[in-house]
Amino acid sequence: MLRRALSLPVLVGLATGLLLVLAGPASAAGPSPSPSSTLPGIGVNLNTGDPGLSRTVVIVLLFGLASLAPAILLLMTSFTRFVVVLLLTRNALGLQGIPPNQVIIGLSLFLTLFAMGPVLSKVNHQAIQPALSGKIGWADAAKKGYAPLQVYMERQVKIEDVALFTNVSGAPRPKTVADVPPRVLIPAFVLSELRRAFLIGFIVYVPFLVVDLVVASGLMSLGMVMLPPVVISLPLKLLLFVLVDGWGLLVRSLLMGAKGG
């Protein structure tokens, strides 16, 4: 029951909230992390510089932002592509629960942070930090924070998906991709990510399908029809995947395709 209750949005929200809580005292008690940090420029500074905005209010606002993080993470980043491809790879290998869902979700989360590090840094410097310091309002911060994500989605979205949602919504046809409203751009981007993820999953499936066919044909020719082919094909697929460094190749191709800037 506990595993069912910990759904994907809950896990992402808890992880984001924990990162924000841990980031607060660190930025207030001492200097910022060294430049060699693996995720530069994504820290949160709670020193608002505005005496009218207390630390408690800032923490409440950060928790409010953390509650929206799952929707932003699922719909406006490359997280969907990563988690779908990794799950399809696990199914192609014939493994039911290895690696566990928590491992796949965690790996997809950190791959997303790695690939979209420049985009998230722009959101932090252009929107979050100015809003916390009182230089801009939260409405302006939302617009400036959406701008880097919009640029990223414009580079990744397919024109036919934008045309699909534009025609269905009845909205006027935009002149350029930059003129596409969020209610059209976001679902079109998610659809494009799903299409790419399933295409990559098909390419991953093909060699393992060939292994299954060869093993099944060999067992049938030997008359061993009572032996399940998966007993022989599963070790062979695992050996093939390890020999070609399958996880490394898969992660490298995913990062190169979803790299933000």
At 55, the pLDDT band (50, 70, 90 cuts) reads low
CB burial of residue 114 (10 Å; 0-12, 13-18, 19+): middle
Average the pLDDT over 136-143 and give the result.
77
**Residue percentage of the chain with pLDDT more than 90:** 5
C-alpha separations of 32 from 23, 100, 133, 151 in Å: 10, 35, 16, 28
* Per-residue pLDDT tens digits for 29-53: 344 444 444 444 444 444 444 444 5
* Per-residue pLDDT tens digits for 79-95: 889 999 999 999 888 88
pLDDT at 63 exceeding the cut of 80 = no
How far is the C-alpha of 163 from the C-alpha of 153, rounded, in Å? Answer: 15
Alpha helix stretches (DSSP H) within the chain: 2-5, 8-29, 55-75, 79-93, 101-115, 117-123, 129-132, 138-156, 159-169, 182-221, 229-243, 246-258
pLDDT at 4 exceeding the cut of 50 = no
Greater confidence (45 vs 116) lies with 116
Give the pLDDT confidence score for residue 178 in this predicted structure.
Answer: 74
**Are residues 68 and 149 in contact, defined by beta-carbon separation less than 8 angstroms?**
no
Average the pLDDT over 198-227 and give the result.
84
Give the pLDDT confidence score for residue 25 in this predicted structure.
Answer: 39
Q: What DSSP string describes 215-244?
A: HHHHHHHTT-TTS-HHHHHHHHHHHHHHHT
Comparing CA positions, the residue from 108, 116, 120 lying closest to residue 81 is: 108
At 75, the pLDDT band (50, 70, 90 cuts) reads confident
Q: Which residue has the tokens 């997809």?
A: 108
Give the pLDDT confidence score for residue 64 in this predicted structure.
Answer: 67
